[in-house]
Amino acid sequence: MRAVDFRLTQEQGDLRAGVRDLLAGRYGREALRASVEAGGALDRGLWRELGAAGFFALRLPEAAGGVGLGMPEAVLVFEEAGRALLPGPLVATHLAAGVVAGAAEGAAVVTAFDLGGALVTHLGEADAVLGAPSLPAGEPVPSADPLTPLHRVASPPAAAQAAAYRDEGALLTAALQVGSALRTVELAVRHGGEREQFGQPIGAFQAVKHLCAQMLVRAEVARTALYAAAVTADAGEAAGAKLLADEAAVRNARDCLQVHGGMGFTWEADVHLHLKRAWVRAEQWRRAEEAQELLAAELASAAT
Amino acid sequence: MDLTYTDEEREFRARLRDWLGKTLPELPAKPSPDDWPGRRAYDAGWQRRLYDAGYAGLHWPVDAGGRGATPTQHLIFLEETERAGAPYVGANFVGLLHAGPTIAAEGTAAQRARWLPPVLRGDEVWCQGFSEPEAGSDLAALRTRAVRDGDDYVITGSKIWTSHAEVADWCELLVRTEPVSEAVPKHRGISWLAMPMDAPGVTVRPLRTLAGSAEFAQVFLDEVRVPVANRVGEENDGWRVTMVTLSFERGTAFVGEVVACRRTLGGLARAAKANGRWDDPVLRRRLGRLYGEFGALWRLTQWNVSEAQASGGVPGVGGSVFKLAYSHARQELYDAAAQVLGADSLALDGEWMLDRLSSLSYTIAAGTSQIQRNIVAERILGLPKGR
């Protein structure tokens, strides 16, 4: 019987488990730290493997050489990428599948003007910019996130260039944020269970417990909004998902850092990588103010 | 993931909408908040109409007198009645949402036959005797004592925060039937009883809430005799029986209210447009954010319901996640309302301030947010219990 049902189908569950396994094997903690030390340079071999696994061609029709799945499956896959802190212009290249040659297979790296200004991520390694006729010139700029290199272009393009991809780009970015938000809950809970002070695990103290509980609440509310928006393709729900996922990813990373104490402030812990990437993604495709304005407009039209 | 409705569900919705359209205009005027007998009569009348139309106990099992509807149909029912502005369960809250489901799940055939039909018809009102002056969040520390005397328990103690106590016929009462000792931990010696509120020795003293009205009461019990036959579940097994009730409370009790909050938000947007404050981008975005949040909370109720549907109907710990998010969002909603209305929100002739005041109970009643966070941290996240 068909009914309103949030549970994953067998196929969706298998897909998620498959991507998690692939990333655990190919982009585990050692690979993550190696790419941090390498200054965020993209691993082209991994990019091709992602392509071969259908990461970019997931929503292309089978007739066009794609996997033929939909947005609900795509957000599950991107959630896993967010958990693993997988670097690169994943969303832009996914959106470029079938539009830019080589994107679907992972042969091309495609970025986008998704930051809404003069800064562009991964431009130095990009083969194309989504919606742009040619690759613009840009000066490298030191980046807050070690895994997101930035360039500043001389003449930022009109906002319209990325606009066509905005709803989907925001939703897939929300999926990355949800994955990160869920992962930082796990990291905080693990640390809270291991680290002992005053003769017991710090996670036994309510002050720590309540931080962790609130992290889960944020992540689960955002995940619900994400899955619903992926199924309904409603613009308002997608804006709500991006807004809540941005908040969950950023605030969870902050709380995770707090739970980690002094370790959380070190380069060695992964917490700062989640926080910095969450800050980047919060600026991509649809910022909080834009999402709030879109939702306010929907509220106003629903209320009249 | 599938968020579409079946033909059967769509037809159910259409029939319900049709019935609501015909029935709501026939309802009498709402009684004033202080008129308790009037409120009871109004709530009973609404429940009777639901019963006669076949909507009472919609999701209760058929052998408990319910209609055996799916959780999704129940969700549609709550969504449509709220959307149409139908009355709330009101005085029937405990009977329909706590005591009734507990008796349906744990009672004998005779107990179900005695207590459930009058609840479904709106004939009998229940109240909840759980909390005590010395047993709030630490509910298992309750002291109200029940001593066996022949076929009766003789009960002495007091209960607090008991809503609808003044008009209730029955009280779902938690009592201590075995004193705490080294061999008996505090949650072991508790039993669940159905106590008639007109029994000799029951005294109800109304308590005024910060909203000014007497919404709940303290109930004093002085050697009250309750037949042993009124015990639901085994003696000393009342804690487990109660947990069934509490999980019902957190799982579905707030579904209609989420829809109501979205309607309230629409009213706020209209008010803000009318008084010009909609042009303030900070306020407008605050309302936009709330619209997104309540949209997500509505989806979260659907998710919880679909999980319950898959697991056989008993809502699980996911209810704690929902309650934490919802109770906070509801308070945020009425704080935003005060920002929209400004000084006008201070006048009590509108509904806003009373609703704002009542929203303050949401992070306390039915398990405080602190207790909910403990539940989430220990039972979902697996963090260790503190010493």
Q: So where are chain A's domains?
A: 10-162, 165-303
pLDDT band of B127, cuts 50, 70, 90: very high
Same domain as B205, residue B288: no
Clarify whether residues B229 and B262 are in a common domain. no
> Between chains, do A299 and B6 touch, taking CB under 8 Å as contact?
no
- Identify the residue whose tokens are 């990019």: A47
pLDDT at B254 over 80: no
- CA–CA distance from B118 to each of A279, B57, B111, B228 (Å)? 57, 11, 12, 21
Question: What's the ipTM?
Answer: 0.94
**Do B180 and B292 fall within a single domain?**
no
The beta-carbon neighbor of A204 closest among B6, B372, B383 is B383
Domain boundary, last residue among B187, B202, B236 = B236
**Lowest-pLDDT range, A186-190, B158-162, B257-261?**
B257-261
The tally of domains found in chain B comes to 3
Gap between the Cα atoms of B277 and A215, Å rounded:
33
For the residues A11-17, what does the mean pLDDT come to?
94
Specify the pLDDT at position B244. Answer: 74
Please state which of the four CATH numbers 1.10.540.10, 3.40.190.10, 3.40.50.300, 3.90.1310.10 is assigned to the domain occupying A10-162.
Answer: 1.10.540.10
Asked if the structure places residue B69 within a domain, the reply is yes
> Is the domain of B269 the same as that of B364?
yes
Answer yes or no: are the C-beta atoms of B330 and B362 closer than 8 Å: yes
Whichever domain contains B64, its CATH number is 1.10.540.10
Q: Is A268 on the interface with B (CB under 8 A)?
A: no
Is A221 within 8 Å of B4 when comparing Cβ atoms? no
Residue B343 lies in a domain: yes
For chain B, how many residues are written?
A: 387
Question: What value does the mean pLDDT take over residues B322-346?
Answer: 95
Last residue of a domain, one of B88, B106, B137: B88
Residue B71 near residue A2, CB atoms below 8 Å = no
Tell me: do B221 and B164 sit in the same domain: yes
Question: Tell me, what's the pLDDT at B32?
Answer: 85
Within-domain flag for B202: yes
- The yes-or-no verdict on residue A278 having pLDDT over 60 is yes
In-domain check, residue B97: no
Band (A7; pLDDT cuts 50, 70, 90): confident
> B374 vs A209: CB contact, 8 Å cut-off?
yes
pLDDT of residue B124: 98
Whether residue B299 and residue A185 make contact (CB cut-off 8 A), yes or no, is no
Q: CB distance from A205 to chain B under 8 Å? A: yes
Q: In chain B, which residues have their Cβ closer than 8 Å to the Cβ of A289?
A: 281, 285
Residue of B nearest to A1 (CA): B6
**CATH architecture for residues A165-303:** Up-down Bundle (1.20)
Of all residues in chain B, the one with the smallest CA distance to A217 is: B321
> Residue A174 and residue A245: Cα distance in Å, rounded?
5
Distance from CA of A250 to the nearest CA of B (A): 16
CB contact under 8 A, B321 and A210: no
Task: Encode pLDDT of B174-209 as tens digits.
Answer: 999 999 999 999 999 999 999 999 999 999 999 999
Task: List CB contacts (< 8 A) between B4 and chain A.
Answer: 2, 4
> Which pLDDT score, from 0 to 100, does residue A3 have?
43
Q: What pLDDT, on the 0 to 100 scale, is given for residue B108?
A: 96
Task: Read off the pLDDT of each residue in B309-316 and give the average, rounded to a whole number.
Answer: 60
Closest CB to A221: pick one of B281, B288, B296: B296
B8 is catalytic: no
Q: What is the pLDDT of residue B312?
A: 59
Residue B319 has pLDDT above 90, yes or no: no
d(CA B161, CA B41) in angstroms, rounded, equals 22
**Comparing A114-123, A187-196, A242-251, B168-177, which segment has the lowest mean pLDDT?**
A114-123
**Quick one: closest CA in B to A234, which residue?**
B295
Contact list, A298 vs chain B (CB under 8 Å): 288, 291
Residue B166 has a pLDDT of 92
**Cα(B122)–Cα(B118) distance, rounded to whole angstroms?**
6
Mean pLDDT, residues B294-308 taken together: 86
Boundary of a domain, candidates B236, B271, B299? B236
- pLDDT in the model for residue A2: 36
The pTM of the whole model exceeds 0.90: yes
Q: Which residue of A has its CA nearest to B286?
A: A292
Cβ-defined contact of B292 to A295 (cutoff 8 Å):
yes
Do the domain assignments include residue B1? no
Q: Which chain A residues are closer than 8 Å to B337 by Cβ?
A: none
pLDDT of B145 higher than 50: yes
Instruction: Examine the pLDDT at B313 and tell me if it is beyond 60.
Output: no
Q: What's residue A22's pLDDT?
A: 95
User: Is B303 close to A304, i.e. CB distance below 8 A?
Assistant: no
**B291·A298 Cβ contact <8 A:** yes
**Res B248: pLDDT:** 59
DSSP string, B19-33: HHHHHGGGSPPPPPT
CATH code: domain of residue B335: 1.20.140.10
- Calculate the dihedral angle through the C-alpha atoms of A110, A113, A115, A121, rounding to the nearest 10 degrees: 40
**pLDDT tens, B41-79?**
999 999 999 999 999 999 888 988 999 888 788 889 988
Whether the predicted pLDDT of B235 surpasses 50? yes
- pLDDT tier at A155 (50, 70, 90 boundaries)? confident
Residues B376 and B265 in one domain: yes
The CA-to-CA distance between both ends of chain A, in Å, stands at 36
Structural domain of B366? 254-380
**Which 207-266 residues of chain A touch chain B by CB within 8 A?**
208-210, 212-214, 216-217, 220-222, 224-225, 227-228, 230-232, 236-237, 239-241, 243-244
- DSSP secondary structure, chain A, as one string: ---SB-SPPHHHHHHHHHHHHHHHHHS-HHHHHHHHHTTT---HHHHHHHHHTTTTTTTS-GGGTS----HHHHHHHHHHHHHTT--S-HHHHHHHTTTSTTTTTTSS-EE---SSSSEEETGGG-SEETT-SSPPPEEEE--SSTTS-EEEESSPPPTHHHHTTHHHHHHHHHHHHHHHHHHHHHHHHHHHHH-EETTEEGGGSHHHHHHHHHHHHHHHHHHHHHHHHHHH--HHHHHHHHHHHHHHHHHHHHHHHHHHGGGGGSSSSSHHHHHHHHHHHHHSSS-HHHHHHHHHHHHHHHH-
Task: Find the CATH number of the domain harbouring B194.
Answer: 2.40.110.10
Query: Cα(first)–Cα(last) distance of chain B, in Å?
Result: 41
pLDDT over 90 percentage in chain B: 73
pLDDT of B325 higher than 70: yes
Q: Min CA distance, A231 vs chain B (Å)?
A: 7
Residues of B in contact with A210 (CB under 8 A): 370, 373-374, 377
Please, which residues have CB within 8 angstroms of residue B369's CB and are 6 or more apart in sequence?
Answer: B324, B327, B328, B363
Q: What pLDDT is stored for residue B206 in this prediction? A: 94
pLDDT at B183: 92
CA–CA dist B191, B180 (Å, integer) = 13
Say if residue B38 is in the same domain as residue B135: no
The average pLDDT across A103-129 equals 95
pLDDT above 90 for A129: yes
Write down the catalytic residue from B249, B293, B351, B378. B249
Q: Which residues of B touch A6 (CB under 8 A)?
A: 1, 3, 299, 302-303, 306-307
Mean pLDDT of chain B: 91
The pLDDT of residue B348 is 86
> Would B156 be classed as within a structural domain?
yes
* Chain-chain contact of B321 with A220 (C-beta, under 8 angstroms): yes
Statement to judge: residues B217 and B277 lie in one domain? no
Above 70 in pLDDT, residue A262?
A: yes
Least confident of A4-8, A257-261, B30-34, B81-85: A4-8
Name A4's Cβ contacts closer than 8 Å, sequence gap at least 6: B2, B3, B4, B5, B72, B75, B302, B305, B306
Q: How much is the pLDDT for A15?
A: 94
